[in-house]
Structure 1
Amino acid sequence: MQKITPCLWYDGKAQEAAEHYIAIFGGDSRVLDVTHYGEAGPGETGSVLTVDFRLAGQDYIALNGGPQFPFTEAISLSVDCADQAEVDRFWDALSEGGEESQCGWVKDRYGVSWQIVPNELPKLLADPDPAKAERTMRAMLGMRKLDIQALRDA
């Protein structure tokens, strides 16, 4: 069992969001448990309170807490991508109904921010040649979805 489990606060769409993410990530991704509000509330009796789910081997809790606390970019989930095909797939799936941002960031239809990052990027940004690293950073800052070949070419 993992020691720390991120809890994501939704306004009534916790189960829908969990199932959406599971469909995107596949593999070791599934709903683990669903709990419902009882008579003590504060939600409607029988409605979904929490959804424990796993994405690519990482456990999360989705909580239907209400509209009081919307998501912000102050916290995001970073997706490590092996190649451009993975970058494209996750970018397209997570941005559908959401909002594209810059530098590989996207906000999904539920307001959760994601960073879609090729696993090669940290190496390119830490190149021993400071000029190469700087060109990579400048190239990245001008992108929405990250283009691995354009980052390499920088």
Structure 2
Amino acid sequence: MQKLTVNLWMQGNAEEAGQFYASALPQARTEIESRYPTEGLLDFQQPFAGKALTVSLWVRETKITMINAGGEFSPNPSISIILCFNADDRASLESTWTALMEGGSALMPLDSYPFSARYGWVTDKYGVSWQLMESDEPVAVAESVIPSLMFGGEAQNRAAEAIEFYGQVLGAQLDSAFPYGQATESATAEALMFAQFTLGDDCVAAMDSAVPQDVSFTPGVSLEWPCADQAEIDRIWQALSAVPEAEACGWLTDRFGVSWQIVPENMGELMERPDAFEHMLSMKKLVIDEF
């Protein structure tokens, strides 16, 4: 059962993006999950009064959340989403690539590579990055939509450290790891060319960039982790948060620069309480009893 959710910061166009992805991506659908209230907003949020706040996108039953917000942040390739396709589903891969390339750009062209007979990396017109990959082995639905963390910039060569740390804090389990074996422009020989780990039932990929990057992790793409109770929120917040000035409304930034949203499992229910949105705006770490 999915627990980890990728959240995409959209610049006022989450509804439009949801419709685009619903038509562009395989087995996808979208809906507005929540709306901004009409009162209790901060000044910069006033233009969003009554409009969509979060738009849900399901791709092969994996949920991705788009946050309708301003121009403060935008997605970048430091966190991309891998879509895996079976070898007999190449037509779907090709059509998905064509759709995402409309107004987008290729970071790695769709082609044959040593690790995949058909692979491409594209940033779409909304700035979201997708890796499309054909697999020789049958792909389970639960493992066909995978967030991928690329450690570059200030986080260069820290992928293995991050996976170990997420194991200590969140129970991550390393499934596979492939070091470069020899140094590249920016990666050491011991750095990870590719690794896969699990957080609960969710697969996550990680890699150290082989070339220098001028982008790294930002709140443009964040990872949402639900907690069973306040004690779990407190423990994870204390362990993960490394940038006090980045703490706001349940958001934090960890030691690697990755943004997380640490939320109660019943967040949807809490947000239905009177003035819940206004209460949330006053918090850094979310406190269930203060909703």
| TM-score, normalising length: structure 2 | 0.46
Q: Between Structure 1 and Structure 2, how many residues are aligned?
A: 142
Report the equivalent of 2:161.
Answer: 16
> Which contiguous aligned blocks of 4+ residues in structure 1 show a shift greater than 6 angstroms?
none
2:194 counterpart of 1:54: no
Report the equivalent of 2:259.
Answer: 113
Report the equivalent of 1:37.
Answer: 180
Over residues 63-104 of structure 1, what are the superposed CA-to-partner deviations in whole Å (9 max), with x where a residue is unaligned?
A: 101443211101111111111011101111111x34441100
2:144 counterpart of 1:3: yes
Partner Cα separation in structure 2 for residue 47 and residue 147 of structure 1: 38
Partner Cα separation in structure 1 for residue 158 and residue 266 of structure 2: 34
**Retained in 2: the 8 A contact 1:98–1:107?**
yes
5+ residue gaps in structure 1?
none
**Residues 149/3 of structure 1: CA separation in 2 closer, same or farther (3 Å cut):** same
Across the aligned residues of Structure 1 and Structure 2, the Cα RMSD in angstroms comes to 1.9
**Residues 141/49 of structure 1: CA separation in 2 closer, same or farther (3 Å cut):** same
Report the equivalent of 1:81.
Answer: 227
**Residues 119/49 of structure 1: CA separation in 2 closer, same or farther (3 Å cut):** same
SS of the aligned residue for 2:145 comes to coil
Stretch deviating more after TM superposition (10-19 or 36-45): 36-45
Partner Cα separation in structure 1 for residue 195 and residue 287 of structure 2: 34
**Residues 145/47 of structure 1: CA separation in 2 closer, same or farther (3 Å cut):** closer
SS of the aligned residue for 1:144 comes to coil
**Residues 143/48 of structure 1: CA separation in 2 closer, same or farther (3 Å cut):** same
Task: After TM superposition, give the deviation of residue 38 of structure 1 in Å.
Answer: 4.5
- Higher RCO (CA < 8 A, seq sep 6+): 1
| TM-score, normalising length: structure 1 | 0.83
Partner Cα separation in structure 2 for residue 15 and residue 40 of structure 1: 16
> Would you tell me which structure has more strand in proportion to its own residues?
2
**Residues 89/41 of structure 1: CA separation in 2 closer, same or farther (3 Å cut):** same
Partner Cα separation in structure 1 for residue 248 and residue 148 of structure 2: 25
Q: Which residues of 2 match residues 90-109 of structure 1 at below 5 A?
A: 90-95=236-241, 97-99=242-244, 100-109=246-255
**Residues 39/145 of structure 1: CA separation in 2 closer, same or farther (3 Å cut):** closer
Partner Cα separation in structure 1 for residue 169 and residue 182 of structure 2: 34
> Would you tell me which structure has more helix in proportion to its own residues?
1
Report the equivalent of 2:283.
Answer: 143
5+ residue gaps in structure 2?
1-139
Over residues 31-69 of structure 1, what are the superposed CA-to-partner deviations in whole Å (9 max), with x where a residue is unaligned?
A: 111112155945344532222111122111111014432
Partner Cα separation in structure 2 for residue 25 and residue 137 of structure 1: 27
